[in-house]
Amino acid sequence: MIRTHTRLLLALAATGVAALSLAGCAGTGTPTSTASAGGDAAAFPVTIASALGDTVIESAPERIATWGWGATDAVLALGVAPVAIPSDDYSGGDDRMPPWISDAIEELGGDAPVILDSSAAEISVEELLAADPDVLLAPYSGITQDEYDAVTAAGIPVVAYPDAPWTTPWRDVISITGESLGLVDEADALLDELDQTVAEAAAAHPEFAGTSIAYIDDDVDTFYMYLPADSRVEILEDLGFATPESVTALDAGEGTFYTTVSYENLDKIDADVILTQAEEQATLDEFLGSDRGQLIPAVKKGAVADVVGAENASAVSPTALTLPWLLPTLVDKLAAATAVAQG
């Protein structure tokens, strides 16, 4: 989704990690069914294509492991309790789970999942095998070919990303999860309700339509800006906002979903509204009032929507659970910033 933004970025973007360690609720996002998968047996076997290889799931899996971002949320929102999930070392608490996941797991009941250490962006086959999963779902992740091959060789089917690491649209994460579990109809229904939630928010704020926005993050000595391939930007566009050419023109090709911008070029970020994040309010206030922050026209005008706190910054990335968890607050902040921009 890691204690600073740089570590969060590494957790979400690491695509060239070291060799694998072999030694060591629909609509509201609330789960509504039992703790077992119970997928449609007639849907299997099913073949899931990915950039790392085609995976055949012979029968409805009952013990689900997840990796990366969003898959855990999709599994839980479909009413299934996973047996193993990646640690959230950015917005998770002592249990290394963010509140929307821990709440959903508690509501489903059953045994707590094994927490797979993701602090180094590597997956341990030993940890994974200890959870005895039927499948590993990693449709939005940075899993490497070596990791995919090692887990597959250990007898666990792996569902990886369709195209490239960390680029799978959030809706596709839900669809792929539903197909993998034999819960296609349930996934479709979940998506319909989530899309309706977003559509209702957009309809309630027609001023968002066509308003240009840039999602930025100032982190110590590095300034990040997110691109249309990022799911956070995607949800902003779903609400009606537009990504201006000034954002894509500054893309240096450093990553699939982000770019860095030098401070001397911050005045080139020509967007009506800025969305930004910080772990603490004091950090955000320092940036907004700084000389570098004031170079950005929208910041100087005060047309800024802010997301403060590790949990909120993490939840901006839409999933089956984070979207209903944060959207009302995010929309209110975007509305206030848009009013400044248009006033």
CA 21 to chain centre: 25
- Tens of pLDDT along 63-119? 999 999 999 999 999 999 999 999 998 887 788 999 999 999 999 987 899 999 998
With beta carbons less than 8 A apart as the criterion, state whether 298 and 272 touch.
Answer: yes
- Tens of pLDDT along 21-74? 333 333 344 443 334 456 889 999 999 999 999 999 999 999 999 999 999 999
Domains of the chain: 5-10+19-195 (3.40.50.1980), 205-342 (3.40.50.1980)
| DSSP bridge pairs for 86 | 116
pTM passes above 0.85: no
Extract the tokens encoding 114. Answer: 């094994």
Q: What is the spatial distance between Cα 149 and Cα 50, in angstroms, rounded to a whole number?
A: 13
CA 273 to chain centre: 22
Taking all residues of the chain, what is their mean pLDDT, rounded to a whole number? Answer: 88
pLDDT-derived band at 326 (thresholds 50, 70, 90) equals: very high
Q: What is the spatial distance between Cα 161 and Cα 116, in angstroms, rounded to a whole number?
A: 19
Q: What is the spatial distance between Cα 20 and Cα 24, in angstroms, rounded to a whole number?
A: 10
Q: Where are the beta strands (DSSP E) in 261-340?
A: 273-278, 304-308
DSSP 8-state code for residue 113: P
Q: Is the peptide bond before 98 cis (omega within 30 degrees of 0)?
A: no
Residue type, 256: T
Residue type, 338: T
Mean pLDDT for 289-311 is 96
With beta carbons less than 8 A apart as the criterion, state whether 173 and 140 touch.
Answer: yes
Question: Does residue 126 sit in helix, strand or coil?
Answer: helix
Question: Does residue 242 sit in helix, strand or coil?
Answer: strand
Q: What is the spatial distance between Cα 244 and Cα 211, in angstroms, rounded to a whole number?
A: 9
**Other Cβ atoms within 10 Å of 54 Cβ, number:** 8
What pLDDT shows up at residue 216? 97
What pLDDT shows up at residue 79? 96
DSSP 8-state code for residue 212: B
Higher model confidence: residue 18 or residue 275?
275
What pLDDT shows up at residue 236? 97
pLDDT-derived band at 121 (thresholds 50, 70, 90) equals: confident
Whether the pLDDT of residue 15 is over 80: the answer is no
